[in-house]
Amino acid sequence: MQERAFRTRRVIVEAAAETFESRGYLGASLRDIVTRNSISKGALYFHFRSKEDLAQAIVQEQYDLQDRALGDLRSRHGRAIRVIVELSWHVARMCREDAIMRAGIRLVAEHNLAESPALQPFRSLAGVMEELLIEARAQHDLLPDVDIPSAAAFMSAALEGLQRACVFGSKRGAKARQERPSCVTNMWRYVLPGVVTAECLSDMTAVAAELGREL
Amino acid sequence: MQERAFRTRRVIVEAAAETFESRGYLGASLRDIVTRNSISKGALYFHFRSKEDLAQAIVQEQYDLQDRALGDLRSRHGRAIRVIVELSWHVARMCREDAIMRAGIRLVAEHNLAESPALQPFRSLAGVMEELLIEARAQHDLLPDVDIPSAAAFMSAALEGLQRACVFGSKRGAKARQERPSCVTNMWRYVLPGVVTAECLSDMTAVAAELGREL
Amino acid sequence: MQERAFRTRRVIVEAAAETFESRGYLGASLRDIVTRNSISKGALYFHFRSKEDLAQAIVQEQYDLQDRALGDLRSRHGRAIRVIVELSWHVARMCREDAIMRAGIRLVAEHNLAESPALQPFRSLAGVMEELLIEARAQHDLLPDVDIPSAAAFMSAALEGLQRACVFGSKRGAKARQERPSCVTNMWRYVLPGVVTAECLSDMTAVAAELGREL
Amino acid sequence: MQERAFRTRRVIVEAAAETFESRGYLGASLRDIVTRNSISKGALYFHFRSKEDLAQAIVQEQYDLQDRALGDLRSRHGRAIRVIVELSWHVARMCREDAIMRAGIRLVAEHNLAESPALQPFRSLAGVMEELLIEARAQHDLLPDVDIPSAAAFMSAALEGLQRACVFGSKRGAKARQERPSCVTNMWRYVLPGVVTAECLSDMTAVAAELGREL
DNA sequence: ACTGCCGGGACGCCCCGTTGGT
DNA sequence: ACCAACGGGGCGTCCCGGCAGT
C-alpha cells in the first residue's frame, strides 16, 4: 500500500501548501487544510507528526526545487554570471507556477522571525550568490570595485524582495503574478551595469534576447 | 487626565510594537503584550477596540514616520535623486533604531497576504519612487534608457527586501542589525550606476562622503 | 442640584428599563444602557452601586406601581372580585404602556431562578390573590367548592403567563402588544364561571360592559 | 465507535440541561457545563458547534418529547378534550421529572424575547390547542359561546405560566416541584366549567378519578 | 499498515462590571 | 459627574493523542 500512501501524502502537502500560502503558518488551521481536499485528520497525523513537521516538509520541497534548478544550471552553463541570472529567472517562474514554492517562501519568511528550529532563509541564497560571484570574478566578468560579500548580500535580499512582491504583490496573488512577469528582468537591467564588465553585459543581453527576454 | 491617558497609550503601543516585531501579528498574543509592561487588559481595551485596531495604529505611526521623513527631505533638498537616496538611508536607520518602524514593516508584510482591509505596503513606496524619478528625469539625472515605472517597481521592492532583511536578518534581530549597517549603501553602490548619469553619480558620491558614508 | 440629579436618575432608570426589557438582565450590558441615552458610566455608578442595584430599583418601581394600583382599586371598590378583575386589567394595560413594568416583569422572572437576593415574583401576586379571595368568600361571591389557596395559585400563575405572553408574545413586542389587548379579558371569560356564583358573574359582566369590555 | 459518541453526547446534553435550567442561557457558562460532569471542551466542540447550537438541541429534544406525548395520546383517545387534559398532565409530570424538559422551557422563554432565530414557544402549543378545540367542538363537548381562537390562546398561555411556575416556582426548584404536584389539576378544576358541557365535565371528572386524580 | 472518529485541554480575543484620581 | 484603567472570565477553536475499524 505504499503507492496509495504516497499519493495521500502528496495531496496533503499540496493542500497544506495552498493554505499556508494564503493564510501563513499561524493563520492556517489544520482544519482548513484538511477540509480543503477532504483529507482526514488521522491521515494527516499519520504522515506528519505535527503542524510544524508539515510546514518543514513543504520548505524542504521548496529547497529541493531550488537546489535541483541550481545544479541543473551549473551543469549546463560554465559562466557563473549566466547561472546567476538564469537561476533568478527560473526561481521567479517557479514562484508564479508552483504553490509549494510560494508556500515555502512565505513559511521561511515568517518562521525565522519566530523561534523556529533551523530554516535559514536569506543565508542560503546569499551563500550561493557568494560562491557564484567568486567564480564570476575568476572569469573576469566582475567590475574591479565590486565587493563580493556585500554584493551577494544585496542581490539575495533584493531577489527575496522581488519574490515577495511577486508572490503577494497585490490583494489576490494570481492576478498580480500575471501582470508582472518580468520583475526580475527589471532588476538585472538596472543592477548588472553596476556589477559586470561591459563585455559581459553585452553577452548577457544577447543571451536574454535568445531566451526571448529583453534586458 | 488626558496626559496620563496619552502616556498609557504610548506604553501600550510600544509594548505591542516589540511583541509584534518579534512574534508577528498572529503569533503575538494580547496577553504577551500586556504582560510585557504590566499593562492591564482593560487599559488596552480602552484605547484600542481590537487587536486589529492596535496593529493598524502601529502601522499608521510607521507611515507617519516615513511621510514626515519624506516631507522633511523634500523641503531640504531640491534634487530628487538625493531625496531618494537619503530617504532610503533614513528609513534604514529608523529600522535599526525604532521598534515601531520594524513592527510596522512586519505587520504590513504579513497582512497584505491575508485579506486585510486597506494597507498598501509596496504600492505606496512605489508611488513615491515614481514621483521622485519623474522629477529626477526632469532634472536630467536619469540615464536615457531608464523606464520609470519598472525602475520604481524594482527599487521599492528591493528596498522592501532590504528592510525585511534588516528587520529579521537572522535569528535575533538586534545582533543582525548591528552587523549590516550599510546594507542600503550597498544597494546604491550597485544600482546607481545603472540608473543615473555619470555626473549625478559623482555628485552623489560626494554627498555620501560628506555624510560619512561610502558609496 | 437635587433636581438635576433626580432627572438624571430618571433617565438612567428608563434607559435601563428599555435595555433590560429587550435583552434581559445578563444580556444587557451597562455599556448598552449608558450608550443608549448618552449617560456616563460615572453618573450611573453615582446613583446605583451596581448593576444588581439598578435592576432592583426597576423592580421596586414596578412593585410600587402595582401596589398603588391595588390600593387605589381597594379604596374605590368594596367587592373583592371586582378588585381582582379590574386589577388584572390595570396591570395588563400597564404592561402594554410602561416599559418599566415590562422590564420589572422580565427581571423578576429571570432573577428568582438564579441565586438572587430576595425578589419573590409569583408569591406576592399569589398572596394578594389569596387575601382577595378570602374577602370574596365572605361576600358570598365564590362557588362553594372553590379551594382558596389552590385557586389563588392558579390565577396568579395564569396571569403571569398572560403577562409574559403579552410582553413578549411574538418576535417584536410592540406589534404583539397591540394585537392582543384583551388577552386578560379572555381569561376571565373562561375562568370566572368556574369560580364565582352565577349572580356575581352577571354583575361582573355588567361592570365589564360599563367599562367598554366584553366578558 | 458510534456508541461511545452517542453516550458522550447524551452526557453533555444532560449536564447542559441541568445548568441551563438553573442558571439560564446567559448565566450558564460552558465551563460550568463542562466541569459538572468532567466533560472536555473538545468533546463539547465536537458535538455542538456553539453554545447556541447546544441550547437548540435541548429545545429540540423538549419539542420531540411533547410531540411524542401528543401523538401517543391522540392515538389512544378519540375525545379531543381528554387529549387536552391528559396532555397537560403529562407535560406537567415531565416538567417535574425531566431536566431537559425544564431546561427547554426556560430556554425558549428566554430566547424569544431576545432576537433568536426560529423557536416559537407559545405559538406551537397554541396551535395544537386550537386544533384540538376544533375537534372538541365537532364532538359537541364545548359550550356554545366558547370562541376557539381566544380560548386556545388563553389556555396555552396559562399552561405556559403554570409550567414556568412549576419549573422555577421558588428558590430551589426541586422542593417547589414537590409542593405543587397538582397545579395543573387546579387549572382544569376552575377552567373546565367555563369551557365544556356539563356532561363532558362529569365524564372528565370520572376519568380523573380513574387516574387517581381529583378534578 | 493506514485511516478516521472522538475526545482533551489550552489559550486567544473580546468585553464586561467596577473602582481610583480629578 | 467622569475619564481612565482593571482584571476576571466567556466563548470559540485550535493542535493534538487514543482507540476502533478496514
The pLDDT of residue A173: 47
Pick among A88, A167, A186, A188 to test the B interface (most B CBs inside 10 A): A186
The C-alpha of C191 sits at a distance from chain D's nearest C-alpha, in angstroms, of 5
Residue A32 has pLDDT above 80, yes or no: yes
Residue D80 has pLDDT above 70, yes or no: yes
| Angle subtended by helix axes B122-138 and B148-167, to nearest 10 | 130
The C-alpha of A202 sits at a distance from chain B's nearest C-alpha, in angstroms, of 14
Residue B148 has pLDDT above 70, yes or no: yes
**pLDDT digits over A51-76, tens only?**
999 998 998 888 888 889 999 999 99
D142 backbone dihedrals φ, ψ, rounded to 5°: -95, 145
Neighbours of chain B (3+ CB pairs under 8 A): A
How far is C-alpha C121 from the chain's CA centre?
Answer: 10
- In this complex, the answer to whether residue C7 has its CB under 7 A from any atom of chain E, a nucleic strand, is no
- Judging contacts by C-beta atoms under 8 Å, the chain A residues touching residue B24 are 26, 110, 113-114
> pLDDT grade, residue A144 (50/70/90)?
very high
Average pLDDT across chain B, whole number: 84
The DSSP 8-state label assigned to residue B192 in this structure reads: G
Query: CB contact, 8 Å: B162 with chain A?
Result: yes
Query: CB contact, 8 Å: D191 with chain C?
Result: yes
Which residues are paired to B196 by β-bridges? B142
**pLDDT digits over D140-178, tens only?**
999 998 999 888 888 888 888 777 776 655 444 444 444
Q: Is B27 within 8 Å of A22 when comparing Cβ atoms?
A: no
Residue C96 has pLDDT above 70, yes or no: yes
Cell of residue B144, nine digits: 536615457
- Judging contacts by C-beta atoms under 8 Å, the chain C residues touching residue D102 are none
Smallest CA-to-CA distance from B106 within B19, B30, B11, B206 is with B19
Q: Is B195 within 8 Å of A190 when comparing Cβ atoms?
A: yes
> pLDDT grade, residue C117 (50/70/90)?
very low
C80 backbone dihedrals φ, ψ, rounded to 5°: -60, -40
The pLDDT of residue B32: 92
Per-residue pLDDT, averaged over D102-130, amounts to 70
- In this complex, the answer to whether residue A183 has its CB under 7 A from any atom of chain F, a nucleic strand, is no
How far is C-alpha B20 from the chain's CA centre?
Answer: 15
Q: Is C189 within 8 Å of D150 when comparing Cβ atoms?
A: yes
Nearest CA in chain A to B183: A154
Nearest CA in chain D to C169: D122
Nearest CA in chain B to A158: B158
C-alpha to C-alpha distance for C33 and C40, rounded to whole angstroms: 10
Contact A200, A189 (CB under 8 A): no
The pLDDT of residue C16: 95
Which nucleotide lies at the shortest CA–C1' distance from D45?
Answer: F13
Residue D56 has pLDDT above 80, yes or no: yes
Query: CB contact, 8 Å: D205 with chain C?
Result: no
Could you count the other beta carbons within 10 Å of the beta carbon of residue B195?
26
Residue A208 has pLDDT above 70, yes or no: yes
- Protein-to-nucleotide distance from the CA of D158 to the C1' of E11, whole angstroms: 47
Nearest CA in chain B to A112: B171
The pLDDT of residue C19: 93
- Judging contacts by C-beta atoms under 8 Å, the chain C residues touching residue D123 are 170
The pLDDT of residue B173: 47
For the stretch C28-39, what's the b/e string if a residue is b when 16 or more beta carbons lie within 10 angstroms of its beta carbon? Answer: bebebbbeeeeb
Q: Is A26 within 8 Å of B22 when comparing Cβ atoms?
A: no
**pLDDT digits over A115-131, tens only?**
444 555 445 677 888 89
Which nucleotide lies at the shortest CA–C1' distance from B54?
Answer: E13
Burial (Cβ within 10 Å: 0-12, 13-18, ≥19) of residue C166: buried
**pLDDT digits over B88-140, tens only?**
988 888 888 899 998 998 888 887 554 444 555 445 677 888 999 999 999 99
The pLDDT of residue D119: 52
C-alpha to C-alpha distance for B18 and B129, rounded to whole angstroms: 29
- Protein-to-nucleotide distance from the CA of D21 to the C1' of F12, whole angstroms: 23
For the stretch C115-146, what's the b/e string if a residue is b when 16 or more beta carbons lie within 10 angstroms of its beta carbon? Answer: ebeebebbeebbebbbbbbebbeeeebbbeeb
Average pLDDT across chain D, whole number: 84
Termini Cα distance of chain A: 51
- In this complex, the answer to whether residue D45 has its CB under 7 A from any atom of chain F, a nucleic strand, is yes
The DSSP 8-state label assigned to residue B159 in this structure reads: H
Sequential DSSP letters for A108-153: HHHHTTTT-SS--SHHHHHHHHHHHHHHHHHTT-B-TT--HHHHHH
Residue with cell 406551537: D124
Smallest CA-to-CA distance from D58 within D26, D16, D94, D4 is with D16
- In this complex, the answer to whether residue C172 has its CB under 7 A from any atom of chain E, a nucleic strand, is no
Residue D135 has pLDDT above 70, yes or no: yes
| Angle subtended by helix axes D122-138 and D80-97, to nearest 10 | 150
List the Cα angle A93/A94/A100 in 5-degree steps: 155
C-alpha to C-alpha distance for A9 and A14, rounded to whole angstroms: 9
- Protein-to-nucleotide distance from the CA of C48 to the C1' of E19, whole angstroms: 14
Sequential DSSP letters for chain D: -HHHHHHHHHHHHHHHHHHHHHHHHHH--HHHHHHHTT--HHHHHHH-SSHHHHHHHHHHHHHHHHHHHHHHHHHH---HHHHHHHHHHHHHHHHHH-HHHHHHHHHHHHHTTTT-SS--SHHHHHHHHHHHHHHHHHTT-B-TT--HHHHHHHHHHHHHHHHHHHHTSSSSHHHHHHH-TTHHHHHHHHHGGGTB-HHHHHHHHHHHHHTT---
Pick among D175, D186, D188 to test the C interface (most C CBs inside 10 A): D186
Which residues in range 4-33 of chain B are in contact with strand F, contact meaning CB within 7 A of any of its atoms?
4-5, 7-9
Contact A151, A195 (CB under 8 A): yes
Range scoring the smallest mean pLDDT among B50-64, D8-22, D104-118, D139-153: D104-118
Per-residue pLDDT, averaged over C22-43, amounts to 90
Per-residue pLDDT, averaged over C126-130, amounts to 85
Who has greater pLDDT, A203 or C36? Answer: A203
- Judging contacts by C-beta atoms under 8 Å, the chain C residues touching residue D103 are none
C-alpha to C-alpha distance for A32 and C192, rounded to whole angstroms: 64
List the Cα angle A177/A183/A189 in 5-degree steps: 165
The C-alpha of A158 sits at a distance from chain B's nearest C-alpha, in angstroms, of 4
**B162, B192, B194: residue with CB nearest A192:** B194
Pick among D133, D147, D155, D190 to test the C interface (most C CBs inside 10 A): D190
Residue C118 has pLDDT above 60, yes or no: no
Which residues in range 149-178 of chain A are in contact with strand E, contact meaning CB within 7 A of any of its atoms?
none
Who has greater pLDDT, D94 or B215? Answer: D94
The C-alpha of D74 sits at a distance from chain C's nearest C-alpha, in angstroms, of 25
User: Chains B vs A: touching, with 3+ CB pairs under 8 Å?
Assistant: yes
- In this complex, the answer to whether residue A46 has its CB under 7 A from any atom of chain E, a nucleic strand, is yes
Contact C58, C13 (CB under 8 A): yes
Q: Is A158 within 8 Å of B153 when comparing Cβ atoms?
A: no
C-alpha to C-alpha distance for A29 and A46, rounded to whole angstroms: 17
Query: CB contact, 8 Å: D47 with chain C?
Result: no
> pLDDT grade, residue C15 (50/70/90)?
very high
Which residues are paired to A156 by β-bridges? none
Contact A77, A120 (CB under 8 A): no
| Pairs from B47-56 (Cβ < 8 Å, separation ≥ 24) | B47/B5, B47/B8, B47/B9, B47/B12, B48/B12, B51/B25, B54/B12, B54/B13, B54/B16, B55/B16, B55/B20, B55/B25, B55/B107, B55/B111, B56/B119
Query: CB contact, 8 Å: C146 with chain D?
Result: yes
Average pLDDT across chain A, whole number: 82
C-alpha to C-alpha distance for B109 and B31, rounded to whole angstroms: 23
**C154, C164, C186: residue with CB nearest D186:** C154
Residue B174 has pLDDT above 70, yes or no: no
The pLDDT of residue A119: 52
Residues 6+ apart with CB under 8 A from C58: C13, C16, C17, C20, C100, C103, C104, C107
Range scoring the smallest mean pLDDT among A108-112, B13-17, D85-89: A108-112
C-alpha to C-alpha distance for B109 and B114, rounded to whole angstroms: 10
Cell of residue A21, nine digits: 500560502
| Pairs across C and D, CB distance < 8 A | 130
- Judging contacts by C-beta atoms under 8 Å, the chain B residues touching residue A161 are 157-162, 164
Nucleotides of F under 7 A from a protein CB: 1-21
Residues 6+ apart with CB under 8 A from D150: C182, C186, C189
C-alpha to C-alpha distance for D137 and D196, rounded to whole angstroms: 9
Q: Is A191 within 8 Å of B192 when comparing Cβ atoms?
A: no
Q: In this structure, which amino acid lies at residue C54? A: L
Residues 6+ apart with CB under 8 A from C9: C47
3-state secondary structure of A174: helix
Question: Which residue has the least CA–C1' distance to nucleotide F14?
Answer: A29
Q: Is B187 within 8 Å of A154 when comparing Cβ atoms?
A: yes
3-state secondary structure of B196: strand
Range scoring the smallest mean pLDDT among A182-196, C47-61, C156-170: C156-170
The pLDDT of residue C172: 43
Range scoring the smallest mean pLDDT among A119-133, C168-182, D56-70: C168-182
C-alpha to C-alpha distance for A168 and B26, rounded to whole angstroms: 18
- Protein-to-nucleotide distance from the CA of A15 to the C1' of E10, whole angstroms: 27
What are the distances in angstroms from CA B196 to CA B137, B183, C202, D39?
Answer: 9, 20, 109, 71
Residue A215 has pLDDT above 90, yes or no: no
Residue D66 has pLDDT above 60, yes or no: yes
Contact A91, A83 (CB under 8 A): no
Pick among C113, C130, C168, C187 to test the D interface (most D CBs inside 10 A): C113
Residues 6+ apart with CB under 8 A from A214: A182, A185, A208
